[in-house]
Amino acid sequence: MAEAQKACGPLGKRLFGWSRYIWLVHLALIMVAGLAAQTLIDILVEGGFGVFGFIVIVLGGIPLMARAIRANQRKAWAKRGVPVASSVIYRLTEESLVLDGPLTETRLRWTGLTEIAPGRDAWLFIGQGAAYFLPKRLFVDAAAEQAFLGACLAKMKPEARARSVEAVALTRTSSAGA
């Protein structure tokens, strides 16, 4: 995994050019604005409340910075013809979990799937040095989610199932309730 990160280092340079450092400019602006707010509040109000102004500016600025970074990434990929959103079909075969999209097809062999773990609003299918996600919103109901995870778990190695604690627990609640 570390080797893959090192090998992909030039990707940021190739995709974003100098703008890959724009986050530093955003961070500097947030800090300057925070310090200015702190100074202004300390001048106007006795008691050292300026630190709260600094905290508010930083806590408000960081999500704005993250939004700007994501917009920059979407723009860079769009210049290369990569759509912002695309349909991906998740299929289970005897050998693998297949993620079939309009531009790529990814096969994650069951023997290489090391864990299914919950992520933020998605299930993570963790393999060798990478994780693929399936948004929970794509399931029509809880029963469909439990059935899909159960089918995946049935094809995985016992060690991988043992690491997939939350997925196993979810499928057990469905069989216990039936």
Looking at 45-141, list the stretches that DSSP marks H as alpha helix, in order from N- to C-terminal side. 50-79
**Whether pLDDT at 178 is above 80:** no
Region label for 20, one of left (φ > 0), alpha (ψ between -120 and 50) or beta (otherwise): alpha
Query: 153, 105 in Cβ contact below 8 A?
Result: no
Q: Is the pTM of this model over 0.85?
A: no
pLDDT bin (cut points 50, 70, 90) of residue 63 is very high
Give mean pLDDT, residues 159-169.
Answer: 96
Q: Strands, E, within the chain: which ranges?
A: 89-92, 96-100, 105-109, 115-119, 122-126, 131-135
Residue of higher predicted confidence among 87 and 58? 58
Q: What is the CA radius of gyration of the chain?
A: 23
Q: Which tokens hold the place of 49?
A: 């409340």
Q: What is the pLDDT of residue 128?
A: 85
The residue among 66, 42, 62 whose CA lies nearest residue 53 is 42
Burial class (CB in 10 A: 0-12, 13-18, 19+), 50: buried
**Whether pLDDT at 176 is above 90:** no
Residue found under tokens 């929970």: 136
Looking at 80-157, list the stretches that DSSP marks H as alpha helix, in order from N- to C-terminal side. 142-155
